[in-house]
Structures are given as C-alpha cells and as structure tokens.
Structure 1
Amino acid sequence: MSTHRHHDRGDPAVSRKLPRSRYETELRRLQAELVIVQEWVRAEGARLVVVFEGRDAAGKGSTIKRVAQYLNPRVARIVALPAPTERERGQWYFQRYVEHLPTAGEIALFDRSWYNRAGVERVMGFCTVEEYRRFLHQCPIFERMLVEDGILLRKYWFSVSDAEQERRFRARLHDPMRRWKLSPMDLESITRWEDYSRAKDEMFVHTDIPEAPWYVVDSDDKRRARLNMMAHLLSTIPYHEVRRPPLRLPPRPAPTGYQRPPRSVQTYVPDHAASLDI
C-alpha cells in the first residue's frame, strides 16, 4: 500500500473535524427540509432519483440512512439490489433498474445502481469487454431519456482516500455489529485501488453529461460529507413548501361499556426491561 493518500479526483480539502453539536443541529435542519421536499414531490407528482455511488466504505450507506430517516417509506424508497438472478442476466442490462424507478409522487434512493457495470463488474471481470463498451454507450442515452421524461436525476460520487478506506475496513473487521458490511470482494478492492480509479475515470468521461452530471462528495469526514451532499441536493430541486390542511385531534367519545379482555387470555412478551431496572 502506498503511503500517499490518494483521492479519486483532486486533493481533499483540509479541514477540522466538524463538532458533533454543530453537525447534529445542521443535520436536523436539512432533514426537515427534505421532509418539505417529500411533500412537494407528492403534491406535484414529481419523480426524484438520487444515485449514490463510490468506493466501498466511502459513506454512501450512512448518508442514505440520514437522508431517509424522517421520510415516508411509501414515498421515498431505498433501492439496494442484490446480484442479478439468472433470468435478470439474460435481460437488457438496464431492465431490472427500470422496474425500480419512481412513479409520480415518489423518490428512489439508489444505494449503488446501474453503474455497477462500470465499476465492480468491469474491474472484477464480471462482464465482457463488449458488454462494458455497450454500457458506456447506452448509459448517457438511458439517462437522457429519464431526464427528458421529467425525472429529476441526481448522481453523487463519494470520494474517499485509500488511507481512510483502509481505516474504516479495519474498524469494521473488529466490530461484530458492522462486520457484515465486509465481504472478500470489499477487501480485494484494497489491492485493486488503481484499477477502480481508472474505471471510475473512464466512467466519468462517458457519463458526466450536462443533462445528468456527476457531483463528487469528499467523504473522508463523514459528517461533512452527509451535510454537503444533502445541502447540495436541496439546492438543485425547485421545491417549495406545500400548505397542508391543519390537523386537530377529535374529542374522544364517551365510553359505551367496552371492557378489555383480561391479560391472562393473551400472550404478552416477557418484561425484559424490568431486569434492567436499578
């Protein structure tokens, strides 16, 4: 491993770690704005697609979690597809992704996307050179069709240095709560750092188009990355606050003699919390 810290594009900004209190205050504000965006999407019948891409351990998943934290899961869906089935491998490459695009009034957050073909499939040899070249040709056409049809498409690349990626991998390796995030393929990405860099650079050449540009998020500092990504997303959407009718709790009606059945006829979960009482 080189002792130099390599980033995917340019040099990382040198900055102090964002204090937690300031981070949490701004995160809450941005999440409140995202709820307003959600209501605008639903009221206007808009369709929003946000693509999250980047290296393993670059912070995509944790950012998606914060973006979706207070959104209605019936409006904002996280799309994280497993490996394609045998049937899906016989389809047009983009076909299974089209199935997960939003309808009017929905948001789709893609935790990795059709860009798998330009990244892991290219580097690991899971697709042929012909399939890869066809993807680079078709992807801009596909995305222009989405945008032409009125879909709001936003694409974010989370850029992390090799040193920070390795630090996060080591932290996961020794944390039983997060070890599931590691796979042999994730660890192999350490030894194929430059292969992934070249694949990303070529992908950008073909797919960083005016209709659907790539936005790069420096993510060595996860707190800054989350705030920067969310603030930028909000700045690109022409939303406004939707006035909703005021809600008021109705008065509870007078009792009519109903009695709950005795506890003995129902099966309650044991009171585990009682064992924690001091």
Structure 2
Amino acid sequence: MLKDLFSKKKKYATIPSDQAKMDVPEGLMTKCPSCKTIMYTKELKKNLYVCDSCGYHHRMTAHERIDTLVDEGSFKEFNSNMISQDPLSFPTYVEKTNKDREKTGLNEAIVTGQAEMENMPVVIAVMDARFRMGSMGSVVGEKITRAIEKAIELKAPFILFSASGGARMQEGVLSLMQMAKTSAALKKLSNHGGLFISIMTHPTTGGVSASFASLGDYNFAEPGALIGFAGRRIIEQTIRQDLPDDFQTAEFLLKHGQLDKVISRLDMKDTLTTILDIHREVLS
C-alpha cells in the first residue's frame, strides 16, 4: 500500500488550451468592478445591470434604459439623423465621431423621443456615455432643446437621464453655448407649467452638471453616481485642502441638499410613474 502511494503519478493543474478558451463565448460572464463577483451577463441584464451581490450599478445603453421604463412599443424617437459637424476643424474629431457611430449604432450621445409610462405620455431624453463620453456638443444641446419644446407642445412631462463628461471640447464655445440654450428652454417649460424630472447617472460632470442636469423640478440620482463640475484633484489643489472620500458622489450630494433622492435602478420606474400620476391632473 505504501509502495502504491509513492508510485502514483503527481497531478498538476492544466492550462486551458486555446481551443478551450475559444469555446467560451465572449461576453458570457461579467465581473463586478465593485465586489468582484462574477455573474452571467444574461442574469445581470435581467436585473437591470445592478449587481445582485453589492448593488453596484453597471452602465446601460440609452435604448436599454428606455426599454426598461416605457410601455412596450410606445417609444417614438426624435431627430435620430442629426449629426455633429466639425466647426473648428479639430484634428481627428470627424474620425472619432465616425468610429463612435460604428461602435454604438447611435448618431450622437443622446437619444430623445416621446413615449408612454403606464399609459401616461412623456418626453424622454437619455444620454449614452459610450459616444464621446456623453459629451455635450451642438447636436446634444439642440436635441435636448427640441425635446423640451415638444414636451411643451404635447403638455407632457420631460424626463432626462444624464451621463456625461461635460461640454465637448472639440466644438469649443459652441458646446458651452448649449448650457445657456438648454437652460433657457427649461425656463420656458417651467413658464408653461411643465414638469421636468432629472436623473443623474454615473458620471454627470462638467457643463452638463452645471446646466440642465441640475435644473429639475425633481433632481434624482442613481446610487454611487459621480456628480460634480471640476475634478477632485483640481479642487484640492485650488483650495489646498483634502476632500472627503465620498465627495462628488450621489450620496454626498443628497446629504448636502443638492439632490431630492438617490434611487436604485430597480425602483426607478415605480418612483417615476408615481410622480407622474401625482402630477397627472395638473398637467392635463
């Protein structure tokens, strides 16, 4: 028996062959960047891209988010063919936007349209950070403004999900002008008694956070979303002080009165439809 024990062959861990690696479909599994849990992408999608272990909110595409909120088949997109020009002849700008169009299937960093939520009419705008990091150029500002004007025409609430790195530097001052244009349109909506619900997702920064994203009648955010204007390092160097660890998070803003509520994506639709129902008679 002792002889047999020592005569057994040692077992070693094997490295999967290239063929075995190829048999695993790309995108089958997703690793949570927060808790490192590995889960089936299909199951993560069913849970609205919210980690079942720690609640981390993964990014969603604009159309995925719209599909989770509006009544099936009710969404009608606005101005889908609008494309940014290159007013400053900025090097490689055209090539980069063309590449983003191929990668995302979108013509710009925002999708706008009208739809229904629980049979209540709404105008909805959703930014998509996959396209130029959701930066706000002339077309983004114009599409938001037109969506607001449509909300006024239809007497429908306007709901906007922001996700942006700020104004688009490749369009210079023209991108900064969108801050004023969208803010003026929202003032017009307010003058007509309209309702604007703003939901800030990760990240909402720069000129977007300093304009339309912060002007809602209700200002909400998803858990853990980065929200702010300038970056942490710039602020710390300017004021020569260390900032809190949770600075510029949705939870920090809520604690300091800059948000009305931090809402899990799993509860977002119920919250929005409740608010729409409360305002139904006033808006009709």
Higher strand share: 2
Greater relative CO, 1 or 2 (CA 8 Å, sep 6+): 1
Give the TM-score normalised by structure 2.
0.36
Higher helix share: 1
Give the TM-score normalised by structure 1.
0.36
